[in-house]
Structures are given as C-alpha cells and as structure tokens.
Amino acid sequence: MITQNPSQLQTIRDLFRFAVSQFNKAGIHFGHGSSNAYDEAAYLILKTLHLPLDQLEPFLDARVVKEEREQLLTIIERRVTERIPAAYLTHEAWLGDYSFYVDERVIVPRSFIAELLQTQLSPWITAPDNIASALDLCTGSGCLAILMAHSFENADIDAVDISNPALAVAHKNVQDYGLTDRIRLVESDLFSNLLGKQYDLIISNPPYVNAESMAQLPKEYCHEPQNALASGLDGLDATHQILQHAAQHLTYSGVLVVEIGHNRNVLEQVYPHLPFTWLETSAGDGFVFLLRRDQLLS
C-alpha cells in the first residue's frame, strides 16, 4: 500500500489531498483526459464514489466508510504504481459532453476532430443535412463515428478498424447510444474491405506517432494498443495510405479530414503539391488537415 495508516484518511478532503500529493510525488504523466494532479484526483474520487463529476466542493468534508476508503486507495495506488491511465481505471472517457466506455483494447479517446464535429465542419461543409454517407477510419472505441452521427443526422456511417477487439468496444458504445441502425462496424485495414464504397465525408484519427517518439513515450501510453499509436519511422505510414486511396472512396464533392499529431512539417515536405487546409483547433492549426476530392485528384 502507498500509506501505512489508511485509517487516518477519513474524509474525501483527506483522500483528495493525499491523492494529489501522491500523484505529484510520483511524477505521473497526464495526457488522457486531465492535465494536472488536482483534476485527476478529483475525477477518480468522484467517479469511484458515484458522485457528480462537477461537484467536489459539497462533499469534501463527508466521511468515507471503510469499503469506500479501500476502493479509493486501490485506485490511487494503481494510478501511481502501475501508471494506468484514469480512463482505464474507471472504464470511462469523455469527448466534450459525450462519455464512452473504454478499456485497454482501444486507445483513450483524445481527438481534435471531436471539436470540429461540434460545428459540423463549418464552413467547409455548407449543407450538413446533405451528408448521406460518412466513414470513420481507425474508429477505435467508435467515439468519432458516434459524434459524427449526432452532427450529421442524415448520414449512414461506416466505422472501420483493423482490430476486432477494438470493434467489440465500439459495438458497446454504438449500442449504448442507440445508433446500431446508422453505424456499421467494419473490420478492415483502412480501405481494404471497402471496395466500391464512396462517402460524402471521411474522417480519420489514425496512428501517427513516429519511431523516435514511440521509444520515449511515458509509461501511461504503454497500456494502450501500440498498433493504434505507432505508424512507422516518420509517423505517417497510415496517412500515406489514406492519401493514396481516399479519392476513390469520396463522392464528387466529398471531403477528407485527417488528424496527424505533430507531423505537419514532414507531411508538407512529402506532399508539396497538395493544398492542405489546416483546421483551427484548441491547440492551434497544425494538427488536422482537410482536402476535397478534386484536390486529391489533382
């Protein structure tokens, strides 16, 4: 155990302070939902105790019973000693106002495309009601496909992943959101099992971590499926394939949106002729690009 005197931790305030201290002392990495020890501790404690996630203050001086204290100390200890991301400990991840079931069969959802879907990709898509077919490549937990279904209510969506275990997680999320009639899950290595299929919109958050960065990832990322992170020497193996084949899977006025991490400079050097539109996100305009079908063909 992290502490030899657990009985001294009697209130949520005690356990919250203890968790923040342990997280800071251990130097754990934040990158799967929270950005600091305070937010991480608050989330884990409130979630474990089945309390509202946005209301820590009213409960700080509430005393915990023995079973609750043991549960919380176990969660805190696993976060520190095993470096398991909080989302895997609670089996929950959030993108905006939407929560998703996750476990170690899928990466923890974290995509700038989720922000862009909130605006229906305006102004690049001028008639969202006319999006009748859409594709989410490398769907993982199915989170972006589900967000796309809410943003484009007339669209039938294919959600594709190479991993059958990941698709099992996606199936649970699609079912939980009541979207099994609109989202079709497909096991496929990118476009390989989509012959003849065309879409008005293709989005993808593919693997994009380069070899050098993979070798330096914090321990937290080692719990995620490595094939959902690594993408060759330059981090763009999957993106190269997407750019090579996307045009044949887009309708006449179709649009491609892809997230590529920190690889903008490398991508532009490899494809100097492609007129990438870089979309503005909360972290800047270097992470997600957009191309129309005619631009890909040219």
Report the pLDDT value the prediction gives residue 4, as an integer from 0 to 100.
56
Residue whose tokens read 């796309």: 148
* Beta carbons within 8 Å of 65's beta carbon, 6+ residues apart: none
Strands 288-292 and 277-278: antiparallel
SS3 content of the chain, % helix, strand, coil (to 5): 40, 15, 40
Residues of the chain with CATH 3.40.50.150: 97-297
Report the predicted TM-score, pTM, of the whole model to 2 decimal places. Answer: 0.94
Residues of the chain with CATH 1.10.8: 6-90
Nearest 10 degrees: Cα torsion 86, 87, 90, 96: 120
Report the pLDDT value the prediction gives residue 2, as an integer from 0 to 100.
60
Q: How far apart are CA 119 and CA 296, in angstroms?
A: 24
CATH, domain range 97-297 = 3.40.50.150
Give tens-digit pLDDT for 47-80. Answer: 999 999 999 999 999 999 999 999 999 999 999 9
Identify the sign of the CA torsion 208, 87, 33, 70: negative
Give tens-digit pLDDT for 173-226. Answer: 999 999 999 999 999 999 999 999 999 999 999 999 999 999 999 999 999 999
Q: What is the mean pLDDT of the chain?
A: 95
- Angle (CA) 155 156 158, round 5°: 125
Across-strand partners of 203?
136, 257
* Ramachandran bin of 205, using left for φ above 0, alpha for ψ from -120 to 50, beta for the remaining angles: beta
User: Percent of the chain beyond pLDDT 90?
Assistant: 95
Structure tokens at 25: 């002392």
What class, spelled out in words, does domain 6-90 have in CATH? mainly alpha
Q: How far apart are CA 298 and CA 280, in angstroms?
A: 24
CB atoms within 10 A of CB 181: 8
* Beta carbons within 8 Å of 114's beta carbon, 6+ residues apart: 95, 96, 143, 144, 147
